[in-house]
């Protein structure tokens, strides 16, 4: 019997705006208008300012561990802007702040989350996102379920889920990809490949040349894009979202980017990253690239930049003031936001006494007697 090839595949890489701010006009056609680019650049700048202030909040003991988004703003901006606010659903990880803000999440909610205040996860009514997900990879299963619900209800809506390259090494990732593909649900899997899963480089955690090719095993359309290129991210995300909306099933996007900061404020990336690598990627900073583009088109100036930076500082200052000035949560919230409907009698006693039944209601239990005095 002759040997025959049963399957061939290739992965395309998309870049529209290069590091110098040069745009491929042909590929950029029908993507973003000058007005939209200016708007998104402004939002990216505000998000960068929030990152810098959040870092200082943690260092001064006013907030817990925080993961900076610095260097990855274009990935969140382009994909978030491509999804329909109030229609589609975003299922984030923890480095997509700007996408969440574009879809209506108040900025101070992110700070509340990292300050340890659960009200940062109490998503406002009408804002179609799930809370920030800290466990690696679990949110992709949620996105698949949400998208499946959209399909069963015959609603023209899409779920977009975010995760890092490290999450694609998790079993939950493969289960979500398989279910999404088999059921052909309207879900877009958006991988922010920032090259590092904390301190483990991509080359060590996987043997595939790209992350995007993992989608091939699931019969899913897949593409790799320059994740620091706003235009490329927007185009790939828009195409995948509209394909899903029209019944074309799930897609996978690998956005090649880089985190310019540490993994979190609890990390010191200098211990495992070469400074030359960081400097190389700093030259590809999505904000610098976009500003070069705007300046080449005479859409930006030093004066406008200065005014933007001042406005960004004022916005973030107000966000911090709101987060730190929120009223102290009521202890009843522990019960009121856990149970739907009437509390069982046991929990009513706990709520009334602020003691568990075993400790507050039955002190005669073994081990709770007064310790006898020694003779």
- Per-residue pLDDT of 191-240, as tens digits, reads 999 999 999 999 999 999 999 999 999 999 999 999 999 999 999 999 99
Whether 166 and 136 have beta carbons less than 8 Å apart is answered as: yes
The DSSP code sequence of 25-81 is HHHHTTS--HHHHHHHHHHHHHHHHHHHHHHHHHHTTSS------TT-HHHHHHHHH
pLDDT band at residue 360 using 50, 70 and 90 as cut-offs: low
* Mean pLDDT calculated for residue range 67-90: 98
Residue 367 pLDDT greater than 70, yes or no = no
The neighbour count for residue 50, using CB atoms within 10 Å, is 24
pLDDT higher than 80, residue 65: yes
* Residue 353 binned pLDDT confidence (cut-offs 50, 70, 90): confident
pLDDT at 111 > cutoff 70: yes
Mean pLDDT of 19-48: 97
Residue 365: pLDDT above 70? no
Bigger pLDDT: 214 or 345? 214
Q: Which of 259, 273, 289, 291 is catalytic?
A: 259
Name the superfamily (CATH) of residues 13-324.
Answer: Thiamin diphosphate (ThDP)-binding fold, Pyr/PP domains (3.40.50.970)
Average of pLDDT values for 348-373? 64
Alpha-carbon span 129 to 110, nearest angstrom: 13
**Apex 278 CA angle, 289 and 226, nearest 5:** 45
DSSP 265: T
Instruction: Measure the CA–CA gap between 365 and 224, rounded to whole angstroms.
Output: 62
- For residue 345, pLDDT over 70 is answered with yes
Higher per-residue confidence, 359 vs 114: 114
**The pLDDT of residue 17:** 98
3-state SS, 187-207, equals EEEEEEECCEECCEEHHHHCC
Arithmetic mean of pLDDT, 342-350: 86
What six digits make up the tokens of 287?
């904000």
| Given 95, 245, 263, 291, the catalytic residue | 263
**Percent of the chain predicted with pLDDT > 90:** 86
Instruction: Tell me what the pLDDT averaged over the chain comes to.
Output: 94
Told to judge if 263 belongs to the known catalytic residues of this protein, a careful annotator would answer yes
Q: What is the CA radius of gyration of the chain?
A: 24
The residues, ordered by sequence, that sit 6+ positions from 104 with a Cβ below 8 Å of its Cβ are 85, 86, 124, 126, 127, 128, 129
Residue of 13, 56, 59, 272 marked catalytic = 272
Cα separation values, 58 from 46, 51, 69, 132, Å: 18, 11, 15, 18
DSSP state of 353: H
Confidence band for 338, pLDDT divided at 50, 70 and 90: confident
Return the minimum-mean-pLDDT range out of 83-87, 103-107, 196-200. Answer: 196-200
User: What is the torsional sign of CA 301, 302, 307, 308?
Assistant: positive
The pair of structure tokens assigned to 105 is 């999440």
- Which residue ranges make up each domain of the chain? 13-324, 330-375
Give the tokens for residue 215.
């989608």
CB 2 within 8 A of CB 215: no
C-alpha to C-alpha distance for 169 and 256, rounded to whole angstroms: 17
Give the predicted TM-score (pTM) of the model.
Answer: 0.91
Helices (H), 250-344: 275-282, 286-296, 302-324, 333-336
Looking at residue 340, what is its pLDDT?
78
Q: What pLDDT is attached to residue 329? A: 87
């Amino acid at each position: 019997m002759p040997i025959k090839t049963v399957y061939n595949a290739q992965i395309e890489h998309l870049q529209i705006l290069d590091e110098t701010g040069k745009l491929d006009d042909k590929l950029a056609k029908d993507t973003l208008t000058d007005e939209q680019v200016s708007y998104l650049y402004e939002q990216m700048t505000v998000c960068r300012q929030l990152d810098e202030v959040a870092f200082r909040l943690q260092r001064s003991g006013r907030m817990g561990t925080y993961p900076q988004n610095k260097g990855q703003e274009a990935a969140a901006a382009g994909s978030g802007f491509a999804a329909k606010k109030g229609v589609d659903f975003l299922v984030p990880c923890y480095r997509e702040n700007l996408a969440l803000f574009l879809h209506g999440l108040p900025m101070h909610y992110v700070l509340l989350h990292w300050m340890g205040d659960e009200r940062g996860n109490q998503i406002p009514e009408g804002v179609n996102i799930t809370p920030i997900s800290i466990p690696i990879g679990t949110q992709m299963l949620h996105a698949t379920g949400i998208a499946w619900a959209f399909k069963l209800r015959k609603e023209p809506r899409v779920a977009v889920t975010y995760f890092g390259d490290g999450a694609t090494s998790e079993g939950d990732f493969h289960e979500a990809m398989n279910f999404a593909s088999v059921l052909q649900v309207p879900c877009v899997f958006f991988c922010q490949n920032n090259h590092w899963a904390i301190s483990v480089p991509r080359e060590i955690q996987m043997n595939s040349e790209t992350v995007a090719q993992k989608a091939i095993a699931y019969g899913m359309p897949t593409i790799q894009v320059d994740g620091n290129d706003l235009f490329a991210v927007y185009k790939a995300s828009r195409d995948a979202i509209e394909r899903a909306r029209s019944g074309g099933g799930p897609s996978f996007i690998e956005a090649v980017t880089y985190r310019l900061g540490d993994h979190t404020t609890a990390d010191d990336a200098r211990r495992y990253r070469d400074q030359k690598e960081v400097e190389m990627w700093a030259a590809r900073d999505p904000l610098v690239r976009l500003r070069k583009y705007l300046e080449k088109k005479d859409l930006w100036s030093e004066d406008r930049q200065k005014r933007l930076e001042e406005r960004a500082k004022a916005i973030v200052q107000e966000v911090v003031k709101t987060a730190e000035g929120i009223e102290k949560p009521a202890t009843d919230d522990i019960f009121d936001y856990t149970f739907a409907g009437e509390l069982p009698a046991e929990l009513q006693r706990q709520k009334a006494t602020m003691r568990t039944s075993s400790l507050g209601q039955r002190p005669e239990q073994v081990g709770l007697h007064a310790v006898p005095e020694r003779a």
